[in-house]
Chain A
Amino acid sequence: MEIFPALLSVITDPVLLGAILLAAIVGMIVGATPGLTASAAIAMLLPITFHMPPLFALAFLYVIGKSGRYGGSIAAILFNTPGTAASAATQIDGYPLARAGKAGKAMKVATISSVIGDFMGDIMLVIGVGFIAALALKLGPPEIFAVYFAAFVVIGSVIGNSVLKGLASALLGIIIAMIGIDPISGEERYTFGMFELSNGIGLVPLMIGVFVLGEVFAQMEERRNHPAKIKSNETTDPDGNQLSWQEYKPCLPHALRGGVIGAAIGVLPGLGSAIAAFISYGEGKRRAKDPEQWGKGKLEGVAAPEAANNAVSGPSMAPLLTLGIPGSTIGAILLGVFLIHGIQVGPTLFLTDKELVYQLFACGILGIFAYGLIGYFGATRVSRIILKIPTQVLYPLIFLTAFIAAFSARGSLFDVTVMTCAGFAGWLMRKYEFNVAAFVISFVLAKGAEETFRQAMLMSKDGAMIFIERPIALAFLILGIAAIALRVRSIMKQRRKAQGALADA
C-alpha cells in the first residue's frame, strides 16, 4: 500500500500542504464563477508551474481540477448558471432549493456528496491503477494503437451533440498535431516552408488559446448578443440554514450510488463528469419513492449528480497514467505538465516514478478534504466573493494574462501568435458547435497514436491486418465502432421521438 507513505510525506511538507489548500480555494472560486472553467484556469496557470518542482506543479493543478468540479455546484445552486457542464444536473434541484431559501442546505449537501464521490473515486484509483498498469505493460504497439483508436472515436462521437462534428474536431486535432518534423523519419510535414512551424505547435499556447482566449471571445459575444442574460449575480440569500443528519440520511444512498457510477464512467476516456452526473441523477430519480418531487427542490437531487460528478476525477487519471491517454481536458493539460517536466506517462511510469504518482494521489485525497472543509464552512463566503467579482474587469484581465502566459511558456513570440489563432479557432468551434474537448484531447493523443501505429506496421507482415489478427486490438477496434453505432442509434431515436412529438402537436 504505497499510498500511506506517500500521504505521510505530503502531510509532513507544509509548503505542499499550503499549495493544496491554495489550489482548493482557487479551484472553488474558478468553478463557481459562471463562464470560467477549471480547464481555463489550469491552462492559464500552466506556465507558472514550469518554475515549480514536478510534484508541486502536478498537485497544484490536479487539486484545482478537483475543486473546480465541486465549485461548479455553487454557481448552479446560487446563480442558476452551472459553473461546469456537469453541474447542470445539480442545477435541476439545487436552484429550486435556493429559491426556497435553502441555499445553504443545498450547498452543504453538494459539499458532502462531492467529498464522498471524490473519495470513492480516489480509492478506486489507488487500488486499481497498479493493476491496470501491470496489464498495460503486456500490451504491444497494435493493442495500444487500438486503444488510441477507440479513445479517438469515443471522445469524438460521445461528447457533444453531433457525431460528425465531434469526429471532425478530433481529426482536426490530429492534423494540427502532425505539423512539424516527423520524429521518426525527420521529414517536414505541413510546415509550408515556415521555419517556426518545424518545431510543431506547442501544447501550452494551443490550450491557452482554445480554453482561455476562446472563452474570452465567447463571453464577449454573449455579453453583446444577450446583455439581459448577463446576471448581476443577484440571487437568494446564500446564508441558508444548517443541515442535520436526518436530512442528509436519505441522500447518502444516492451519494454512494453516484460515487460508483462516476468512478465507473471516469475510467472510460472521454465520457466525463457531465454524463456521469446526468446518469446518476436519472438513476436516483428512477429509484426514488417520490420521483415527481425531483426537479422541484429535493436534496437527494443534489446529492446524486454531485457525487457522480466528482467521482469521475480520480478514475479519469487511470487511463492517463497507465496508457498516456487523457480522459478529459484537465487530464490532457496534466499530461502536458508531465511531459514538460520530462516525465514519460504510460505503464513504465509505475516503474520509473512510482513514488511521484502515489504522492500525487495523496495530494488529491488531501485536496478533497481541503475543498470539503472550505466548502462546508465557507461556501457562502466564496459565493459572496463571486458576487463581488466585476466580470467586465475580470475578462479583460484574463485576456491580457493569456498573452503573457503563452509567451512565458518558452519565451517565444511565435507561441503568442499560435495562442491568438487558437483562441479565434476555439471561439469559432464553440460558436458552430464543434467539439473543443475532442480537438484538444486528440491533439495530445495524436503523436503517441502515430508512433504505435507505425511501430505496429513495421512489426506486421500483412500490413494493417495485424490489428485484426490480435484479439485485444480487434476488441478495442470493435469497441470504437460500436461506440459510434450506439451514439448514432441514440441520436436517431431522439430525432424520431422529437418528430413524433411535433406530429402529435
Chain B
Amino acid sequence: MAIRNISEALVLALLSTVAIWGALQVPEASPGETWAGIVPFGAALALGAIAVISLLGALRRANTAGDTPSTGNRGARDVIILFIIAVLYQQSFSWFGYLLPTAIVAPVALYMFGVRSPLGLALSVVLCPLAFHVIFFMLLGVYPPYGEVFDLNEFIQG
C-alpha cells in the first residue's frame, strides 16, 4: 500500500511538472490583457502542491506501517489487453474503414467477456458490423470512416 501511495504521488508530481512546463510555453500577454497561461499554470501549480502533500503523507505512513504483499491481478492484465485491442481497433478505422475492424473485434471482445459459443461468435462477425452500420450510417446519416488501405463498405457497394 505504501508503494502504491508513493507511486500515485509521484505520478501526480510528474503530471504537474509536465503541466507547469506546458503552461510556461504559452507566450506572454499583450499589454492590457491577462496571460493565457495563468489558469493552466495555477491549476498545475496546485496539482504540484497536492502531489507534494500526498508524497509527504505516503512517506510518513510508509515509516509507521508495514507493507502488505500485493496479490496478483489478472483483471488488470486483461484490461490492458482489451485497451490494446481498443487502440488497434480505433486506429484501423483509418486503414480499413468501419466494417472489417468491427467484424474482427466483435468476436474477440465477446470471447474476452466469456462468450464461448462458436455459433454466437460467428454470428457476431456479421451481425455486429451490420447492426451498427444500419443504425449509425444509414438511419442516423453519419458518414462512415473511409479505409485508406481497403474499405469493405466500398467493396460491397462496388
The judgment on whether A and B are partners is yes
Q: Which residues of A pack against B, CB within 8 Å?
A: 48, 51, 164, 167-168, 171-172, 174-175, 178, 182, 184-185, 187-190, 192, 213, 216-217, 220-225, 391-393, 395-397, 399-401, 403-404, 407-408, 411, 413, 416-417, 419-420, 423-424, 427, 431-432, 446, 449-450, 453-454, 457-458
Nearest Cβ on chain A to B85's Cβ, whole angstroms: 9
19 A-B contact pairs sorted by A residue (CB < 8 Å): A164-B50, A167-B50, A174-B39, A178-B43, A182-B26, A184-B36, A185-B30, A187-B36, A190-B40, A192-B22, A216-B82, A220-B75, A393-B110, A393-B115, A393-B120, A400-B102, A411-B145, A419-B90, A427-B83
List of B residues within 8 angstroms of A417 by Cβ:
90-91
4 shortest interchain CB distances as A-B pairs? A221-B75, A224-B75, A396-B109, A182-B36
Is the pair B40, A221 in contact by a Cβ cutoff of 8 Å?
no
List of A residues within 8 angstroms of B89 by Cβ:
403
List of A residues within 8 angstroms of B113 by Cβ:
220, 223, 391-393, 395-396
Give the tally of cross-chain contacts (CB within 8 A): 162
Nearest Cβ on chain A to B119's Cβ, whole angstroms: 13
List of B residues within 8 angstroms of A416 by Cβ:
90, 93
Q: Report how far A417 CA is from B86 CA in the complex, Å.
A: 9
List of B residues within 8 angstroms of A171 by Cβ:
43-44, 46-47, 50
Known contacts being A51-B140, A174-B43, A178-B40, is A396 close to B112, with CB within 8 Å? yes
Q: How many residues on the B side are at the interface (Cβ–Cβ under 8 A)? A: 63
Q: Report how far A174 CA is from B16 CA in the complex, Å.
A: 12
Nearest Cβ on chain B to A12's Cβ, whole angstroms: 27
Is the pair A213, B86 in contact by a Cβ cutoff of 8 Å?
yes
Is the pair A220, B112 in contact by a Cβ cutoff of 8 Å?
yes
Instruction: Indicate whether B126 reaches chain A with its CB closer than 8 angstroms.
Output: no
Is the pair B43, A185 in contact by a Cβ cutoff of 8 Å?
no
List of A residues within 8 angstroms of B112 by Cβ:
220, 396
Q: Restricting to B110-158, which residues have a CB under 8 Å from any CB of A?
A: 110, 112-115, 120, 128, 132, 136, 140-143, 145
Partner of A178, one of B8, B39, B53: B39
Is the pair A217, B83 in contact by a Cβ cutoff of 8 Å?
yes
Q: Report how far A191 CA is from B110 CA in the complex, Å.
A: 37
Q: Which of B30, B128, B136 has the most CB of A within 10 A?
A: B136
Is the pair A223, B50 in contact by a Cβ cutoff of 8 Å?
no
Is the pair B50, A392 in contact by a Cβ cutoff of 8 Å?
no
Instruction: Indicate whether B69 reaches chain A with its CB closer than 8 angstroms.
Output: no
Instruction: Indicate whether B68 reaches chain A with its CB closer than 8 angstroms.
Output: no
List of A residues within 8 angstroms of B36 by Cβ:
182, 184-185, 187, 189
Nearest Cβ on chain B to A149's Cβ, whole angstroms: 11
Is the pair B22, A220 in contact by a Cβ cutoff of 8 Å?
no
List of A residues within 8 angstroms of B4 by Cβ:
432
List of B residues within 8 angstroms of A167 by Cβ:
46, 50
List of B residues within 8 angstroms of A454 by Cβ:
34, 38-39
Q: Which of B40, B51, B73, B115 has the most CB of A within 10 A?
A: B40
Excluding A168-B50, A187-B26, A221-B78, 4 further A-B contacts by CB distance (< 8 Å) are: A51-B140, A224-B77, A400-B105, A404-B98
Nearest A residue to B33 via CB reads A185
List of B residues within 8 angstroms of A450 by Cβ:
39
List of A residues within 8 angstroms of B19 by Cβ:
175, 190
Instruction: Indicate whether B100 reaches chain A with its CB closer than 8 angstroms.
Output: no
Is the pair A220, B79 in contact by a Cβ cutoff of 8 Å?
yes
Known contacts being A223-B114, A225-B73, A225-B74, is A396 close to B40, with CB within 8 Å? no
